[in-house]
């Protein structure tokens, strides 16, 4: 049984390729997690995942969705909205910290990630958002080319 599990885990690592990605937008470093179910080859379709209010790209629902997409053979990019913070990591935004970000800031950041995806060879993006991220994804889909 141990041999089978070891082989399975080793084969599983060949199937999914994940990497942190960072871009710069309006003077802020933005972070994301890119999961490619196809290994090193970029697929023409990508699911761009957006977290909810004050959350992050590694919150349980986004992380699990990204894993399920990989298992289904789909590539995904779980972005971490900056919320006005340079190089914001995968942590909840502290409630006590003054909020200087605006709801619509997410649309511009989504646009920056869409441009990045296009540079990677992606031709079709499906925006998926959780909670407020759903509203921001819909707003981006309605206003961005």
Contact yes or no for 105/84 (Cβ under 8 A): yes
pLDDT digits (tens, 9 = 90+) for 63-97: 999 999 999 999 999 999 998 989 988 787 778 88
For 134, the token pair is 């759903």
Q: What's the CA gap between 42 and 7, in Å, rounded? A: 25
Q: Which residues contact 69 (CB under 8 A, 6 or more apart)?
A: 35, 37, 47, 75, 76
- Region 92-120: mean pLDDT is 88
How many CB atoms lie under 10 A from the CB of residue 117? 21
Task: Check residue 40 and give its pLDDT.
Answer: 64
Predicted local confidence at residue 18, as pLDDT: 79
Q: Answer whether residue 2 shows pLDDT above 70.
A: no
CA-CA distance, 110 to 129, in Å (whole number)? 11
Whole-number pLDDT of residue 54: 83
Tokens of 143: 């206003």
Write out pLDDT tens, residues 9-54: 334 443 457 789 999 999 999 999 999 886 667 789 999 999 988 8
Give the pLDDT mean for 99-110: 87
Q: What pLDDT sits at residue 16?
A: 57
**Looking at residues 97-116, what average pLDDT do you find?**
89
């Amino acid at each position: 049984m141990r041999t089978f599990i070891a082989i399975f885990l080793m084969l599983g690592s060949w199937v999914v390729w994940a990497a942190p990605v960072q871009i710069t937008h309006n003077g802020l470093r933005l972070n994301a997690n890119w999961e490619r179910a196809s290994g090193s080859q970029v697929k023409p379709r990508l699911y761009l995942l957006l977290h909810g209010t004050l959350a992050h790209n590694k919150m349980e629902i986004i992380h699990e969705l990204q894993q399920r997409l990989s298992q289904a053979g789909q590539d995904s990019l779980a972005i971490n909205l900056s919320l006005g913070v340079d190089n914001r990591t995968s942590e909840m935004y502290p409630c006590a910290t003054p909020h200087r970000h605006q709801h619509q800031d997410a649309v511009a950041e989504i646009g920056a990630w869409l441009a990045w995806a296009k540079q990677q060879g992606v031709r079709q993006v499906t925006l998926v958002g959780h909670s407020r991220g759903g509203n921001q994804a819909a707003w981006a889909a309605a206003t961005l080319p």
